[in-house]
Chain A
Amino acid sequence: MATRSQIPLIFEHSSRGRRGYRYPALDVPETALDELIPAEHQRQQPPQLPEVSEVEVVRHFTGLSRLNHGVDVGFYPLGSCTMKYNPKVNEDCARMSGYMHLHPYQPAETVQGALALMHRLQSYLSDLAGLHETTLQPAAGAHGELTGLMIMRAFHKANGEDGMRKEMIIPDSAHGTNPASAKMVNYQVREVPSDDRGGVDVDALRAMVGPQTAGLMLTNPNTLGLFDENICEIQKIIHEAGGLLYYDGANANAIMGYVRAGDMGFDIVHFNLHKTFSTPHGGGGPGSGPIAVSQRLAPFLPEPIVAEQHGEFFFKRPSQSIGRVKSFYGNFGVLVRAYAYIRSLGEQGLKDVSETAVLHANYLMRNLQPYYELPYDRHCMHEFVLSGSRQKAHGVRTMDVAKRLLDYGVHAPTVYFPLNVEESIMVEPTETETLTTLDTFIGAMKEIAREAEESPDVVCNAPYETPVRRLDEAQAARKPILRWTPEH
């Protein structure tokens, strides 16, 4: 048997002639291949696919999955990613045959139940956003950002201002997707600095806006886990300059039912269903990033959205729609899971989610504050950012702390982000963990801080208990081997 670090690739299991499946005998007349595919488009050599039995495939991938860390295996405090537990009732609902066996080409009158679900989900998300109308189309948060900014541009264009409004203002603590999305729609990015409380520097913002301002992208609470108390002033500055406000909903888990983006003055919001609404995240995806918009932007939403008249549900194209942003109707199976989550918690339940998420983050932050530098010492929202600067003095970098945490069975928090904190460690526990888990994490972090002082080498050489030791990340990025070839 191979040891855990010597797991062969599926190709290396291959044995000539071995198969997992045999086709039944052909019961229709055979057509010559040349009649179907012109000879010049036919491959000359058979593809080098692994020849393996079914049980080998199952054992191979089950074996790999057992080496993996996921939220069903252990704590996963990855800041700004909201790796909360995915309740199994969501899966039960998504597997109901009325949802699972639909075909996207079915006529609307045969899928009224599915459309009703989408319509209700649109309306719940609009309510949570405090905005007018929602599209469920975008397939991820960044896709929601792109869609939102396309709507922003369409709005300025309709007002004859697209030619002059070229700048998108983005805080220095922003998610990297924000400037990337702005670039994708051809906006120039202007970075606004943070003030000493970790919020947007309002004076700097005021000096930056003008007729060239298309809008501002902001997440509130921001990536430091801090609520920007100046949001009313910020929205006034942007709106008076003729710009629009985009709310990055990545941190919506902090505020559900307590404050609505629309009430803060935002015009466009995206929600990450795979974060806030407990659908699978990361490799377990796909994601879903619906956006809600204000009444004046609703005509520009992508098509189709689900509408209702006299109890009948149908697809509708908004009057000045930017068009399609995804094939068919968004990631429908994910929408079912998010709907199940909202319905199983209800209005008060969603508020409790945010309250507990914020409580958990503050509990961890205050218990870790004696051991790690806390750059912004104020109550946090659903996540907080520590700095590894004290450990750095002993030659232990934040990356080393993160690797050492793996030995304690914890997925590492987000590291080196946000960029405006030195050696940053960003922790988001979520509401779904028990006090026992939180205390275990605090214990591990304390122990690592002690090791960093007394025996820094132990931390710098971690991890020890994982299937593979520390990987050469630089080499993997510089000279990646992306596909298997017989020589390897």
Chain B
Amino acid sequence: MANPRDYLYTKDHEWVRVIDGTARIGITEYAQNELGDVVFVELPAPELIVEEGEGFAVVESVKAVSDIYAPVSGTVKAVNEALEDSPELVNESPFDEGWIAELEINDESQLKDLMTADEYDALLEEV
């Protein structure tokens, strides 16, 4: 599964899709494959204010429990409630139906620190 070209990426294998000042966040195909079957996603509370780099959600697989870090600072505006009953969406559709949360971005300049799809592809080449 190719990494969507219009998304941004982090070194922790999360993706960000920016739509009108809102950052939709999920984990990448590579991340879901490394984690294995996801069995539980702990979603953040609505209106939670998070700082860049802060853990604000948790993805639990049969192998490990991993924090999801906020790629940018912001306020939680939406969470993917479908994951409560169907955490497997993270495995089946990591870039689309398996999204985790949406943040209202505080400071758009932080987006410059994220990787483009090309840069993320290059990172995956190295691992």
Chain A positions within 8 Å of B, measured between CB atoms, are 176, 399, 415-416, 419, 473-474, 477-478
Contacts and interface: CB of A to CB of B under 8 A. Distances in A.
B37 interface: yes
Contacts of B60: 477
Interface in B27-60: 36-40, 60
A474 B37 contact: yes
16 contacts: A176-B65, A399-B36, A415-B63, A473-B37, A474-B36, A474-B37, A474-B38, A474-B39, A474-B62, A477-B37, A477-B39, A477-B40, A477-B60, A477-B62, A478-B40, A478-B88
Contacts of B88: 474, 478
B64 A473 contact: no
A167 to B, nearest CB: 15
Given A474-B36, A478-B39, A478-B40, 14 more contacts: A176-B65, A399-B63, A415-B63, A416-B64, A419-B64, A473-B37, A473-B62, A474-B37, A474-B38, A474-B39, A477-B39, A477-B40, A477-B62, A478-B87
Contacts of A419: 64
A416 B63 contact: yes
B42 to A, nearest CB: 14
Query: Would you call the interface of chain A mostly helix, strand, loop, or mixed?
Result: helix
Q: How large is the interface on B (under 10, 10 to 19, 20 to 34, 35 or more residues)?
A: 10 to 19
A477 B39 CA distance: 6
A239 B44 CA distance: 37
Contacts of A176: 65
Contacts of B36: 399, 474
Contacts of B62: 473-474, 477
B107 to A, nearest CB: 24
A122 B62 CA distance: 39
Contacts of A473: 37, 62
Nearest to B61: A474
A176 B63 CA distance: 13
A117 B125 CA distance: 60
Contacts of A474: 36-39, 62, 88
A316 to B, nearest CB: 41
Interface in B60-116: 60, 62-65, 87-88
A399 B62 CA distance: 10
A428 to B, nearest CB: 19
Interface in B1-47: 36-40
A477 B91 CA distance: 15
A71 to B, nearest CB: 25
A460 to B, nearest CB: 13
A61 to B, nearest CB: 28
Nearest to A472: B37
A416 B64 CA distance: 7
B19 to A, nearest CB: 30
Contacts of B37: 473-474, 477
A49 to B, nearest CB: 32
A474 B63 CA distance: 10
A176 to B, nearest CB: 8
Contacts of B64: 416, 419
Contacts of B87: 478
B8 to A, nearest CB: 25
Contacts of A416: 63-64
Contacts of A477: 37, 39-40, 60, 62
B53 to A, nearest CB: 12
Nearest to A417: B64
